[in-house]
Amino acid sequence: MNDQPNRPHQPYDPYGQQPQAPQTWPGQGYQGHQGYEDPQAAQQYTQQWQGQTWETQNHRSVSAQAPDPETAILTPQSPPQRPAAPAGADASAPGYGPATVGGNTRVTDAQRARAEGRSPIIEPGMQPAALTALLGLLLAGAAAVGTYALLVPLVVLQAVTAAGWFRLNGMWPARQGIALGFAGALAADAALLASDRSPSAILGTLGVWVLLALVLQLRSHADPDERMYGLMATVAASALAIVAGGYLAAAADAVTVGSVAVAVAVLARAVPLPTPASVVVSLLAAAGAGIAAGSVTDLGTSGALLGAGAAACALIGHRVASYDYPSRFVHFTAGVALPLAAAAPAVYVLGRALA
């Protein structure tokens, strides 16, 4: 016989746990067992819901309480990752600012200078001007020696021009673009020598290199904006480096006078004077240097006009190299090369007109 007393039937727990009492709703005890009428016992065997929607104690919905609109700050749970908002954009109002696509754009030194009331124009100074003058004198002396001697300082000028333009535009390192611009300059020099220094070689090379830069940028996997920016920088760097080959196409006397005038003009421009006065002094000094250099060549006094014209273009290049709060590296690349590169077309045109 079974010695165990009669017990209510208990459901089988398939997970090996202790037998559990039948599930009942709150307020209902198990009929037939007086101990279940105890409120605590009834609560013990109340059906337990697995989830975060309801609480078994008082059966009320659990939800985030609405914040006080006057004192609370909205802080959503687990916010999605998004680009950082511009500095100071959410400081005056609670919550998040408007969604952005481009993220937080870094404030450039030029923008900060404008905000602080300072000029974004910083001129290269005397040391880059001295290097420009040295390179100009090398061009003048090499032109007097011969065409192939002129190639040596000209190639240096073209390389520094390509590198300086990319750095001036904030793109560094940009080895592909610099190499492409410098290769265009070498191709233009070779075409000039092959065509007996015909200026059409410069125009032909420039057209081919613009097309080549366009094809290379279209094959790039960068963003469309970056590709367009890189295309413009590459085309401009190639154009400046190729146009600098105008010294090779110009007459030797014109190269001598123009290079000396640019050297004197840049040195005079580096003298600490007010900008209008400095520009006037530079042009007058370049005209005087043109007369002096023209006296030892066949140009004579007409060298004053050539010197002043070359100096005017050189001052434009000097101004470009000074723009947008440039770095020291820009001063010693673009600040050195752009005045001479910008003066090359004037040297060729005025040299042909005054010869």
Mean pLDDT by 10 residues, the chain (355 residues): 50 50 48 49 51 46 48 42 53 46 56 77 91 96 93 96 88 80 94 90 92 84 79 91 94 94 95 93 96 90 94 95 84 94 95 88
* pLDDT at residue 7 in the model: 52
On whether the CB atoms of residues 137 and 129 are closer than 8 A, the answer is: no
* pLDDT at residue 242 in the model: 95
Residue 167 structure tokens = 């750095």
* pLDDT at residue 41 in the model: 53
Distances (CA, A) of 186 to 158, 193, 244: 8, 11, 11
Residue 341 structure tokens = 């590169």
Burial class (CB in 10 A: 0-12, 13-18, 19+), 339: buried
Q: How far apart are the first and last CA of the chain?
A: 138
On whether the CB atoms of residues 150 and 256 are closer than 8 A, the answer is: no
Phi, psi of 24 (to 5 degrees): -130, 160
Residue showing tokens 């840049």: 266
* pLDDT at residue 27 in the model: 46
* pLDDT at residue 78 in the model: 45
How far does Cα 310 stand from its chain's mean position?
A: 31
Residue 6 structure tokens = 């009669």
For 271, half-sphere exposure in the C-beta direction (CA atoms, 13 angstrom radius) is: 14
* pLDDT at residue 150 in the model: 95
- Dihedral of CA atoms 139, 243, 321, 265 in degrees, nearest 10, equals 40
* pLDDT at residue 270 in the model: 93
Q: How far apart are CA 298 and CA 348, in angstroms?
A: 15
pTM over the 0.75 mark: no
